[in-house]
Structure 1
Amino acid sequence: MRAARPKAAIAVVAVAALAVAGCAESERDNEGSGQSTKDTLVFGTAGDPKVLDPSLASDGESLRVARQIFETLVRPEEGGTKVTPGLAESWTPDSTGTVWTFKLRSGVKFHDGTEFNAEAVCVNFNRWYNATGLMQSADVTAYWQDVMGGFAKNEDAELPPSLFKSCTVKDTTTVDLAFTAVSSKIPAALMLPSFSIHSPKALQEFDASNVSGTADDIKYPSYAMEHPTGTGPFKFKAWNVADKTLTIERNEDYWGNKAKLKTLVFRTISDENARKQALRSGDIQGYDLVGPPDVEPLKSEGFNVLTRPAFNILYLAINQKGNPKLADVRVRQAIAYALNRQALVDSKLPPGAEVATQFLPSTVEGWNDQVTKYDYNVQKAKDLLAQAGASNLTLRFHYPTEVTRPYMPGPKDLAELMMADLKAVGINVEAIPLKWTPDYLNATTSGSAHDLHMLGWTGDYGDGYNFIGTFFARQKDEWGFNNPALFEKFAKADSTADAAARYALYKELNADIMEFLPGVPISHSPPALVLGKDVTGVKASPLTDERFATAEFKS
């Protein structure tokens, strides 16, 4: 969640759309005033959502809202990563493993009153598959491209062929999804919010695919800013941009258990201390990304602190294209040995955080205890730099500002520790702080201006490919290397239907990656969210898939 996504999601919104949204009825009543009613919950977020159409979103705050409004064919189990029924009650592959039949729920309606059925599923998949123009930009359809690759007609020669092939309506409640190959991503990836099913009527009425502007100035249609229409337990009410609040309300016609709250408000408070004070004063009844030093104090005050499992990775990326010296594996090894990651974990991350030995959490199948490890060793780092003729190396170290991520609390503090470690072995470091979006994400995931940068990932679903495949399965500007043998092994793993055989390949890939060392895995961190003393019913999710429909105030 990603959501926690490392893609550059440039969400520059049309002024007219923002004006309309900002003037929309806010219905604040007691929101943010410290006088919350028992049917309204105000939740503090670290940033604004960028867009309300999850098909076009890759940032965590947009997807947090989408998870309440929309539903997918399959979804994660509550508080876990296992695939469970969503809008589909069951799903089965054919003998080839390339055609999946989904049996759909009946009696489900979209928020505009239209029927959910097999035809609606195909309208959505065909919308994504037949995307054109800016809809093919990685900044617009990041998750489609991560999972499916390309489109029906790729407009960029570098886009791969599409994994998705076709959608066929068998009857009102039965649909076949066909793919060009067996893939580890199916069906698990279909629980991503980006594969939410939208009302076909609303998609057409509000011209949902009319993304315009330029790659540097993307303008979204009114559907994506004012008219998101799903089947979920909440429906969109208002987005007051000036007031930094987004309001959703209970869907009284929901097919399942109706939300216990009447109104849910997401209020942006970018400063972590300000979020904490707003909770204590009663202006909000919960917030995400609790600072590690605040976990125990908030618990002792009686607040409900929910700690998510550590289903993420913080890493230091090394761009081999940015500096020729970084193409030498000895230099990359020196960087790894130079970092005192245990000290970083102990001093800057929450209880339960641990040093990462690879780019995959130990709870995911394919984790390999036999990978090459790079324990803190200053002398070894210096020796490797000398052997590589890089004793006077100067590197540009990028780190983000104005952001807190589940895997990266206090980016500046983390960066300063790493930079101090690098300087201690003789590496000259040029610190380059940049605003998270769009500056930092643009600078570090494209081009060659960066040498080192911190980034990370929160898993979207419980398969190893979602971590290591996302990073290393194909050539990316973030890392600046080309390794055909590695890419070929990833393709083999992804297309291996037998789970045990696929996990064995993941173990091999983790070993290969840590030998090649395109970057340094730093840590896995259990992020926390907090709710008011009288708020119950929310279960922490490793995927940040918290369900506010079950939230309620204790009487």
Structure 2
Amino acid sequence: MRASRPKVAVAAVAVAALAVAGCAESDREDSGGSNNDTLVFGVAGDPKVLDPSFASDGESLRVARQVFETLVRPEEGGTKVSPGLAESWTPDEAGTTWTFKLRSGVKFHDGTDFDAEAVCVNFNRWYNATGLMQSPDVTAYWQDVMGGFAQNEDEGLSESLFKSCTAKDATTVDLTFTRVSSKIPAALMLPSFSIHSPTALEQYDASNVGGTATDVQYPEYATAHPTGTGPFKFKSWDIANKSLTIERNDDYWGEKAKLKTLIFRTIPDENARKQALSSGDIQGYDLVGPADVEPLKGEGFNVLTRPAFNILYLGMNQQGNPKLADLKVRQAIAHAINRQALVDSKLPPGAKVATNFFPDTVEGWNGDVTTYDYDVDKAKQLLAEADATDLTLRFHYPTEVTRPYMPNPKDLFELVSADLQAAGITVEPIPLKWSPDYLNATTSGSEHDLHFLGWTGDYGDAYNFIGTFFDRQKDEWGFDNPALFEQFQDADSTADMASRVEKYKGLNKTIMDFLPGVPISHSPPAIVFGKDVTGIKASPLTDERFAKAEFTS
């Protein structure tokens, strides 16, 4: 999410792509702004990298979901695990070895056969990562799900959950893990576990990540040659003109895409995206402003609302300011914020105030946790008890970005900042560009006190929310709580689902008593398409399948 793209490689891709991308856009212009072959979709930000092994930002993963496939995938429009490149999967009696039966007759975009050996090449690539590939900024999702590697180079890394991959025959593969985990098989739906062509990985030296921790240099594969099995294949990335083009994979094993060409065009400003849709320059865009949903529907555009499968939170870094290590100060901050007013005035219809760090549609949500109602007097009292009446906090908020859980960061900052100041807290605003400045500042080091971040769930298990945030010591929060970490390990290793759900409820109570941050809201984000575009189903995981898009006229 936070790593820099390799400057030389990216520049080369941009130059090579200019002519191709320009032709695609000219074709659309010649046809009067639309045709039945090409869809231009407006996105809020550039993808960061084209190899999803290294991606954790939404725009990179959006592209990956069209070009690559995983062993299992979410059901269309939902969160349930369903077949992907594997047709079926079963655990052994111990629950530590999972056998996947693979589809036959599948080929990668370069013509290489997909089989069990290809699966093992990919898992062994991730597991045997060395050097900068072990940086949490480079392989964030591997580390969130699997922990460490075959040979950990940082003593802070945990033992790897993944143990081995065995190709039993061409269409049968065993994945063995060191213990039972709630993450398997659901986490294998993540685009970061996409299966790549072994031929392309070798040809383009895909694991040759260079540079430094603050200036990561990705190999050419990750910027110009992503090679999967999906319904679209990569064509060009015109970075200078903020345009990425993929095209139909005519050799796809399943139902072929109805579109010939799909272009993702970066338009950071929300109003500019809306104007581009109205003028016909684009045929859809994501992250529709809350106030625009009903007007766009009224004009006849195809507005799809995703279920609220996300969380916006206020992070508090206990290393950033020693006062934040005092529970009473964190409680004061929680009581100072009028979350209902924020939801009512700045979020779309259907948004809710959050009391847990994941929505109530996920099993394990607990309605009996400690809550922190808006109470300015209570906030002032707690600050006085903590000897913190002269508290000054650095409050980071992002610019040049719209997120599903955070439609207008500056507006949200102004509301929360005013609430904090009304309680007697001095706020030092620190606006930073979303990537890489804001993400670097808020998820590493100790130079931040308060910040907004959030999460859209990757799959329908509570651990994917709260485990991602709190299951071990992280710079974003700056606390060490061994008892909480052990509680997470116990829940994750509980095989029985009913028992695990009860443990998730217990975790939610522990988290809200400890209060490392303030859960703010859950929002139902909207995605919009042109009046004549149909076929796409909204996904709570932002897993919209553009291969099914088609024009009705």
The two structures have a TM-score, normalised by structure 1, of 0.98
Please name the residue that 1:250 is paired with. 248
Q: Which runs of 5+ in 2 are unaligned?
A: none
Task: Verify the 8 A CA contact 1:9 1:57 in the aligned structure 2.
Answer: no
Task: Verify the 8 A CA contact 1:31 1:265 in the aligned structure 2.
Answer: no
Task: Verify the 8 A CA contact 1:21 1:226 in the aligned structure 2.
Answer: no
Amino acid at match of 1:290: V
Amino acid at match of 1:102: F
Secondary structure of the structure 1 residue equivalent to 2:264: strand
Alignment of structure 1 residues 168-247 onto 2, 5 Å: 168-247=166-245
Task: Verify the 8 A CA contact 2:13 2:237 in the aligned structure 1.
Answer: no
Please name the residue that 1:455 is paired with. 453
Please name the residue that 2:500 is paired with. 502
Task: Pick the aligned partner of 1:14 from 7, 13, 24.
Answer: 7
Task: Verify the 8 A CA contact 2:28 2:35 in the aligned structure 1.
Answer: no
Deviation at 1:32, TM superposition (A): 6.5
Deviation at 1:20, TM superposition (A): 3.2
Please name the residue that 2:479 is paired with. 481
- Check if 1:294 corresponds to 2:287: no
186-195 vs 380-389, greater mean Cα deviation: 380-389
Secondary structure of the structure 2 residue equivalent to 1:432: strand
CA distance in 2, matches of 1:492, 1:472: 14
Deviation at 1:114, TM superposition (A): 1.2
Amino acid at match of 1:444: T
Please name the residue that 1:329 is paired with. 327
CA distance in 2, matches of 1:441, 1:430: 18
Alignment of structure 1 residues 83-482 onto 2, 5 Å: 83-482=81-480
Q: Give the % identical residues.
A: 79
Task: Verify the 8 A CA contact 2:315 2:516 in the aligned structure 1.
Answer: yes
Q: Deviations over 1:512-534 (max 9, x none)?
A: 00001001000000111100000
Secondary structure of the structure 2 residue equivalent to 1:131: coil
Task: Verify the 8 A CA contact 2:287 2:402 in the aligned structure 1.
Answer: yes
Alignment of structure 1 residues 37-116 onto 2, 5 Å: 37-116=35-114
Task: Verify the 8 A CA contact 1:400 1:411 in the aligned structure 2.
Answer: yes
Deviation at 1:65, TM superposition (A): 0.4
Task: Verify the 8 A CA contact 1:407 1:456 in the aligned structure 2.
Answer: yes
Structure-2 change in CA distance of 1:111 and 1:182 (3 Å): same
Task: Verify the 8 A CA contact 1:342 1:355 in the aligned structure 2.
Answer: yes
Q: Deviations over 1:86-128 (max 9, x none)?
A: 0000000001100000000001010111110000000000000
Task: Pick the aligned partner of 2:24 from 1, 24, 28.
Answer: 28
Task: Verify the 8 A CA contact 1:32 1:42 in the aligned structure 2.
Answer: no
Deviation at 1:19, TM superposition (A): 2.0
Task: Verify the 8 A CA contact 1:150 1:160 in the aligned structure 2.
Answer: yes
CA distance in 1, matches of 2:264, 2:28: 10
444-453 vs 97-106, greater mean Cα deviation: 444-453
The two structures have a TM-score, normalised by structure 2, of 0.98
Task: Verify the 8 A CA contact 2:491 2:503 in the aligned structure 1.
Answer: yes
CA distance in 1, matches of 2:503, 2:314: 24
Q: Deviations over 1:217-266 (max 9, x none)?
A: 11111111111110000011111112211111111011000000011010
Alignment of structure 1 residues 525-544 onto 2, 5 Å: 525-544=523-542
Deviation at 1:15, TM superposition (A): 1.8
Secondary structure of the structure 2 residue equivalent to 1:28: helix
Deviation at 1:31, TM superposition (A): 6.0
Secondary structure of the structure 1 residue equivalent to 2:438: helix
Deviation at 1:283, TM superposition (A): 0.3
CA distance in 2, matches of 1:268, 1:438: 16
Secondary structure of the structure 1 residue equivalent to 2:24: coil
Please name the residue that 1:492 is paired with. 490
Task: Verify the 8 A CA contact 1:345 1:353 in the aligned structure 2.
Answer: yes
Deviation at 1:14, TM superposition (A): 2.8
Q: Which runs of 5+ in 1 are unaligned?
A: 1-7
Amino acid at match of 2:85: L
Q: Deviations over 1:322-346 (max 9, x none)?
A: 1111111111111000000000000
CA distance in 2, matches of 1:360, 1:64: 22
Deviation at 1:495, TM superposition (A): 0.4
Task: Verify the 8 A CA contact 1:41 1:285 in the aligned structure 2.
Answer: yes
CA distance in 1, matches of 2:28, 2:428: 42
CA distance in 2, matches of 1:318, 1:48: 28
Please name the residue that 1:3 is paired with. none
Secondary structure of the structure 2 residue equivalent to 1:347: helix
Task: Verify the 8 A CA contact 2:9 2:219 in the aligned structure 1.
Answer: no
CA distance in 1, matches of 2:2, 2:447: 19
